[in-house]
Every structure is written in structure tokens, then in C-alpha cells.
Amino acid sequence: MLKLFKEGKDWVSALCIPYNERSRYSVENSNKGATMPRVVTREEWEKARKELLAKEKELTRARDALNAERRRLPMVELDKEYILDGKDGKAKLIDLFEGHSQLIVYHFMFDPSWDKGCEGCSMIVDSMGHLAHLQARDTSLILVSQAPFSKIEPFKKQMGWNVPWFSSYDSDFNYDFEATSDGVQHQGVSVFLRDGDKIYHTYSTYLRGVDILFTPFNYLDLTPFGRQETWEDSPDGYPQKPPYEWWRHHDNYDHLQHHHSCCHSRKGNS
């Protein structure tokens, strides 16, 4: 339908490593011995920081301009009815707006053959805040996966999430919006606008397009070592490892088995 996946095949292939294959990689939780940033005086630091701040402000203005263009995109009326499966049974796409005029769908990678959902998508859902903030702007947010709801429900309970989650297993939804193509799952976001009983598709983005939703990455981007992945442009000697391989579900990181506290105990994350 959208045909947006002409490039980035290697990125998709790496992202789609099944969770049971990724588990063979060990995650180290130490950067001991890594190269450190150079040490300067406070005055030198302030000068460098102000130079970077000017570039950050340029990026902010550029992002504002891009968002303005996105708000001016045309839209397409949906000519097909989609029936999805959720905790209350079958539901039409229009029902998932829950009375709001806007609906954001996060395409959560969960192949019907998998027992658990994608670690990267899980990282994004871990960071989703209270939906009341979106609802205050007349907007609903849901997750949609191709896996049957019988697999989604226990995994959602394991992860402790409250975001509404629906299965597109018996519909063309994933295929029509390129969340599944050529047998491969894709993470992405699609946005819909409702006018009465009519639904319009206004926007979709995939792959690095959802990078902004990775809150842990946004925090790591503020740190000296960044995301610590090999694709990043970092000084020689900075800690870097292949991307994707270190991702885990929040209750399956090696360091949680060694560092106990009242917030992160082995019992609490089992």
C-alpha cells in the first residue's frame, strides 16, 4: 500500500532478530577502561557548550518547521473496514478512537510465530506515559501487532503495560500499512483522523522514523558515550558494540541479576 521500504533492508533484518536468538548475547554493564572526554577549564567548557547550543537551537527550529509541514500533509480516506481483536473481543478501527478525533497506532513487531514481542518495541512501550496527556488533546494511542491476541495478552501482563493493544491477525491491517511485508515485521507509527464515521490516514513512518520514541536513546544521546553502538560517530576508544544485540525486555538484562535494590530485585523482575 505505502511502499516505503525500498532501502534499509539490512537495518530491518538486524532489528528483526527473534528474541530467542538475541538471548545468546551477553550484555556487559561496564565501560571500565574506555577513553574519556578531554578535561578543560570551566571557561573552555562554556565556550564549547555555547557553540553546541547554537546548533541545538538550529535543530529545534528545523524540527518545528518539519512538524509544520507534517501538519499540512494531505490525507487519504480509508475504503476498507478493519476488524481487530482486543481484550473485549472484536472491534472496528473507528471504535479504537474511543470518541477522540485522532488515533495514533504504534505498529508493535510481534510475529505470529513468536512467543514474545520485539525488544526494541518493548523499549518504546516502556517509555509511554499516562495516556491522559494525549487524550487531553483529543488523541488516542494504541498498539497493534500481527500476533494473535492469545499471545499478546500474556506478554502484556508479563511486561506490566496498560496501553490498549490489539491484534490484526485476522485482518489486512498490517499488510496495508506495511507493518508486515515480505514476511518481515516492521516497527512504525501510523496516524488516523476521524470526521464522523469517516476515517482518514494522515501519516506513517518506520525504522529510524520512530527513533524519537526511544526515550532511553534520547537520554543516552545526552551522555558522553551516547548509545554506545558501532554506527555512531564517536571518538576512538569510546565503548561501542553492534546495535540491536544488546536490547532486552526490561526484566531480562544481565545487570539486574547482580545489582539489587528495593526497585530492581530478582524476585520483582521474574
Q: State yes or no: pLDDT of 240 exceeds 70.
A: yes
Q: Is residue 5 part of a domain?
A: no
Q: Is residue 179 part of a domain?
A: yes
Q: Output the nine-digit C-alpha cell for 252.
A: 531480562
Please report which confidence band the pLDDT of residue 28 belongs to, taking 50, 70 and 90 as the band edges.
low
Please report which confidence band the pLDDT of residue 258 belongs to, taking 50, 70 and 90 as the band edges.
very low
The answer on 188 and 161 residing in a single domain is yes
Q: State yes or no: pLDDT of 9 exceeds 50.
A: no
* pLDDT for 152: 97
Q: State yes or no: pLDDT of 261 exceeds 50.
A: no
Percent of the chain with pLDDT over 90: 64
Rounded to two decimals, the pTM is: 0.83
- For residue 127, the SS3 value is coil
Please report which confidence band the pLDDT of residue 4 belongs to, taking 50, 70 and 90 as the band edges.
low
Q: Is residue 28 part of a domain?
A: no
* pLDDT for 24: 43
The answer on 202 and 86 residing in a single domain is yes
Beta carbons of 225 and 212 less than 8 angstroms apart:
no
* pLDDT for 46: 97
Residue span of the structural domain in which 89 resides:
75-212
Q: State yes or no: pLDDT of 93 exceeds 70.
A: yes
* pLDDT for 112: 96
Average pLDDT for 13-41:
63
- For residue 97, the SS3 value is helix
Beta carbons of 107 and 128 less than 8 angstroms apart:
no
Q: State yes or no: pLDDT of 5 exceeds 60.
A: no
Number of structural domains the chain divides into: 3
Element (H, E) at 85: strand 83-86
Q: Is residue 243 part of a domain?
A: yes
